[in-house]
Structure 1
Amino acid sequence: MVRLETFSRARRRLPGALLLCLAVPALAQQGDAPASRAQENVRMEYAQVLRAEPVYQTLRATSMVERCEASTPVEDAEEKTGFARVIGAVRGALTPDPKVEEVAPSAGGECRMVPIEREFRRPIGYDVDYVHRGVKYRSRLPADPGNRVQVRVSVTPVVAGETP
């Protein structure tokens, strides 16, 4: 019975001990900061945008599509002469196989799965060249900033004997 009472007292003290363990490192860090440390001066200004070029990510995706071809070769029934022959020759040069006709799956042709590769480009950001107080800079931003971009200017004096 004595053990149960000791355990319950220790359990009541646990939140206080935990709080003390968390507070000690924070107090130690405050003591490390030198009193002579200079304060940082920050202000917001605008810079002139020279160029904003979109940056794209290229994605490739392959999907399978069913292609059906006629089971019997397609022959031209009539004899072509003159201008029709020239158009037929051009059409024959541009099509891979003039004897194969693509048909619907319900027409009873030979069907097979064919891989089709597609390429997609999506914008991921903009490479922006800009000038601030006569100095050129380049940054990658998530959106096109327009004619000017807001910049954060920070000035901190160096105190003698302090290493950055």
Structure 2
Amino acid sequence: MLRPFPFPTILLLAALAAAPAVMAQERMLPAQPPAAPQENVRIDYAKVLSAEPVHQTLRATSMVERCGSASATPVQQEEDRRGLSRVVGAVRDVLTPSENIEEVAPSAGGDCRMVPIEREFRRPIGYDVDYVYKGVKYRSRLPYDPGNRVRVRVSVTPVVSSSGQ
């Protein structure tokens, strides 16, 4: 005749039967994405087609006192000019010292006025370089003139899509 198991023994057996399933769930790690492929890098040379300097233009204006004798009449000279020559002449008069105005000390009774003098400075900031590598033409801005050839960084990495194809 079979004796029934006592109630606490049945609970103990049920807990032991479920323990392996719980332990297996704890051991399973969440699925991690596949590692990114390793990048293959090397240095090579490309043939330079052209290198054009790129300049930055800076303008500075300063005020200079100019004194001239009362006999010079710049207004009469402006009336003789017509159209575009009048505009060009006005710009030239501002940028270059006038030959008709002779320097006179302010105490000698000369006509003194402040004249703006504009100066322009150009400085190189880089080079636009056209070059060919493996039959393909590229353009880059470099801080220096590379000469006949330029070093290029070649990187090859396989494309890995999410579908695995």
**Pairwise CA distance, 1:56:** 1.0
Q: Where do 5+ consecutive residues of structure 1 fail to align?
A: 1-30, 75-93
In the TM superposition, what are the counterparts of 1:17-96 in structure 2 within 5 Å?
Answer: 34-71=33-70, 73=71
Task: Specify the code of the residue in structure 1 equivalent to 2:103.
Answer: V
Quick check: 1:102 aligned with 2:122? no
Name the structure 2 match of 1:154. Answer: 155
Change (3 A) 1:34 1:104: farther
1:146 is paired with a residue of what secondary structure?
Answer: coil
TM-score (normalizing by structure 2): 0.58
Quick check: 1:126 aligned with 2:127? yes
Larger Rg, first or second structure (1 or 2): 2
State the Cα deviation string for residues 53-91 of structure 1 (Å, max 9, x = none). 0011111111101101024x27xxxxxxxxxxxxxxxxx
**Pairwise CA distance, 1:32:** 9.7
**Pairwise CA distance, 1:105:** 2.8
**Pairwise CA distance, 1:36:** 3.4
CA distance in 2, matches of 1:43, 1:144: 22
Name the structure 2 match of 1:11. Answer: none
Name the structure 2 match of 1:141. Answer: 142
CA distance in 2, matches of 1:121, 1:32: 60
Residue identity (%): 66
2:115 is paired with a residue of what secondary structure?
Answer: strand
CA distance in 2, matches of 1:105, 1:162: 88
**Pairwise CA distance, 1:104:** 3.9
Q: Where do 5+ consecutive residues of structure 2 fail to align?
A: 1-29, 73-88
TM-score (normalizing by structure 1): 0.58
Task: Specify the code of the residue in structure 2 equivalent to 1:133.
Answer: K
Alignment length (residue pairs) = 111
Q: Runs (4+) of structure 1 moved beyond 6 Å?
A: none
**Pairwise CA distance, 1:33:** 7.0
Name the structure 2 match of 1:13. Answer: none
CA contact (8 A) 2:106 2:112 kept: no
CA RMSD of aligned residues (A): 3.0
**Pairwise CA distance, 1:107:** 6.3
**Pairwise CA distance, 1:101:** 3.6
CA contact (8 A) 1:70 1:100 kept: no
Task: Specify the code of the residue in structure 2 equivalent to 1:138.
Answer: R
Change (3 A) 1:41 1:67: same
Name the structure 1 match of 2:86. Answer: none
